[in-house]
Amino acid sequence: MRNSSGNLVAHLTRREALYGLGTSIGSLAFSSLLHGNENPTLGIHHPVRAKRCIFLMMEGGPSHIDTFDPKPELNRLHLQKFQRHGERESAMSSGQRYFVKSPFDFIQAGKSGADISTEWHYLQNHVDELCFYRGCQVESVNHPTACYHVNTGNRFGGDPSVGAWVTYGLGTLNDNLPGFVVLPRSSYPQGGASNWSNGFLPADHQGTPLRPEGSPILDLNAPVGMTRQDQRENLDVLASLNRKHLDNRVNQSELKARMSSYELAYRMQMEVPGILDLEGETEKTRDSYGIGAPKTDSFGRKCLLARRLVEKGVRFVQAYAGNWDSHDYISRAHGSLIKSVDKPIAALLADLKQRGLLEDTLVVWCGEFGRTPDNGLRGGSTSYGRDHNAKAMTMWFAGGGTKAGHTIGATDEIGAEAVDCVHHIRDVHCTWLHLMGLDDNKLTYYHAGRHKQLSQFGGNLIQELIG
């Protein structure tokens, strides 16, 4: 087996794979030490539109009907009884159901006239940079399996995530940093760290989560009293002893990997603190992301850190926000959630564009599914929310060769099901990889007796999304 630098390495043991899941400077280094600048064993398959990616994951399932896909017909049908035909979406969809209108107003914003809820006070000024896609469908209405599906292409977990596939194919742009970084919430998404797993790929391709509270990386600074020179001398002695041990065990490449991880951790101690220190940004920049304001501070920090990470050469950054699972009081719940991410996302797009990064940085926004046009009324006529919906969801893209200022696809008149430019999530994955110069049919890994890929068994490009 070859690593992303083209060097032969042995299969990692389970213990070593688990070791790479930690958040200390040593384990973070170990999980990214084998990345090369490009992967010569795979290579770029066609011209690159996006060199890097920022994936904004809205965990919980944001409602397309209340964000970017208005349904005026629901105003007429509001609170009329709804009869579901065919299979129920989930256990929560039992009992008497009612049509539910959106509590939000919509406008057609920008030169493109994109539909957007007026709750998006800041993002509405950037719609001409966005490509809205309303035709995506998934297969699960249960949060863990749906999260796995969007993140890994497999509803049951255990497979590599999108970020893992990208770094497997392309490596990192900075040998001193991980290729794939995750910015989770305090509570991990449903399904946990498997959402950014390396799966059956080599362990160095798993996402490296930064802690959302306290020090993002443990053991980032040297112990009190130890200087950089002390560390250098200790590493030199350790390397000398390890090389002697390795001379008689030439096939134990795990030791080579561990030796390299010590060196990478040493280099990271010089580069990482500066990236994580958001106080180095101007007050104007921090304010634009909403840092310091109670509602926007958390996601604002993630968005600003995402920009700093990709600017320094991290290939793939995933930032989580949630929980969008609004079964009740959708006006209050979604209204609050939109406010928490609106300003940070708008600032991220503006910042990337101003720095000349948006053109070759792909930004992806989505949840794990959409939501239904109907719901039960568990708390009275003003408490309505929405159930889970795998047949209709809106996602949007920015930069990275996508068709800015366009809305692609459509759902039916009540938002229950995608009806135009309909594609399975596997086709979104294929298109995602294509924009980054990778062919899903060529980006494969031999495992369990067959060559595996992100789409599971192949998919089609969504040409309408490509600019």
Structural domain boundaries of the chain?
Answer: 38-205+284-465
**Beta carbons of 26 and 261 less than 8 angstroms apart:** yes
On the question of pLDDT at 14 being above 50, the answer is no
16 pLDDT higher than 80: no
The dihedrals phi and psi of 34, each to the nearest 5 degrees, come to -90, 0
> Does the structure show a pLDDT above 80 at 38?
no
Whether the per-residue pLDDT at 298 is higher than 90: the answer is yes
Query: What is the Cα–Cα distance from 359 to 187, expressed in whole angstroms?
Result: 33
Q: What pLDDT does residue 5 have?
A: 39
Q: Model pTM?
A: 0.85
Tell me: the pLDDT tens digits for 81-98?
Answer: 887 665 555 555 556 788
Mean pLDDT of the chain: 85
Give yes or no for residue 169 having a pLDDT over 90.
yes
Contact (Cβ atoms closer than 8 angstroms) between residue 315 and residue 180: yes
| pLDDT number for residue 397 | 98
Element (H, E) at 307: helix 297-311
Res 4 pLDDT > 50: no
First to last CA, the chain: 36
**Model confidence at 152: pLDDT above 80:** yes
Q: Mean pLDDT throughout 448-454?
A: 95
Q: Give me the sign of the Cα torsion angle 288, 289, 291, 297.
A: positive
* Res. 260: pLDDT tops 80: no
Q: Lowest mean pLDDT: which of 214-228, 229-243, 317-331?
A: 214-228
pLDDT for 349-375, tens place per residue? 999 999 999 999 999 999 999 999 998
Give domain 38-205+284-465's CATH architecture.
Answer: 3-Layer(aba) Sandwich (3.40)
What span, in angstroms and rounded, lies between the C-alpha atoms of 459 and 396?
20
Question: What's the pLDDT at 1?
Answer: 38
pLDDT band at 21 (very low <50, low <70, confident <90, very high): very low
Check pLDDT > 60 for residue 392.
yes
